[in-house]
Amino acid sequence: MCVTWPGVITAATLASSDAADLALAPELLAGQTGWALGDGAYWSPRLRDDLAMQGLALLAPPRGAAAKAGGWPHWLVQTRRRIETVLSQLTERYQAKRTWARDLWHLTAQWLRKLVSHTMALRCQHSDLSSLAFAKLITA
């Protein structure tokens, strides 16, 4: 998932649970520029170099003992916490781990509803409205 600072999900890739994050990263980050923040699953010098040629700096901590040796600056830790909060909201409030469907069409539709609902609730929050005040959000 790509998440902007206020917590808006701007891109997502739906994959099977046995797919590695590192294998999906090029697809998810294609066309992005600037910098991207990932967890230890995205640490790869080769991926970092490939993305750098496209104009994207990948910030991902190394795995294992090397990760504990150096810390991230406070602002980067806060940014990572925002991403974790969005993922937690999808898991707990939207039951993301309990999404079952018999075919890809229904699975995709369920995920899109979850993502749109999260975006609308976030938009209401930033407009100082109740999370269920969709009518006021549209007329504002």
Residue-by-residue pLDDT tens, the chain, 140 positions: 888 877 888 888 888 778 888 888 888 888 888 988 888 888 899 999 999 999 999 888 877 644 554 577 788 878 888 888 888 888 888 888 877 888 889 988 988 888 888 888 888 777 777 766 666 766 65
pLDDT of residue 51: 92
Residue with tokens 């609308």: 120
pLDDT of residue 52: 93
Work out the number of other CB atoms within 10 angstroms of the CB of residue 129: 16
pLDDT of residue 48: 92
Instruction: Note the maximum CA span of the chain.
Output: 53
Bridge partners (DSSP) listed for residue 9: 3
Q: What stretches of 1-140 adopt beta strand conformation (E)?
A: 2-3, 9-11, 34-37, 56-59
Token digits of residue 90: 């999808």
pLDDT of residue 41: 82
Q: How far apart are CA 60 and CA 45, in angstroms?
A: 10
pLDDT of residue 137: 64
pLDDT of residue 64: 63
pLDDT of residue 56: 92
Phi/psi region, residue 14 (left: phi>0; alpha: psi -120 to 50; beta: rest), is beta
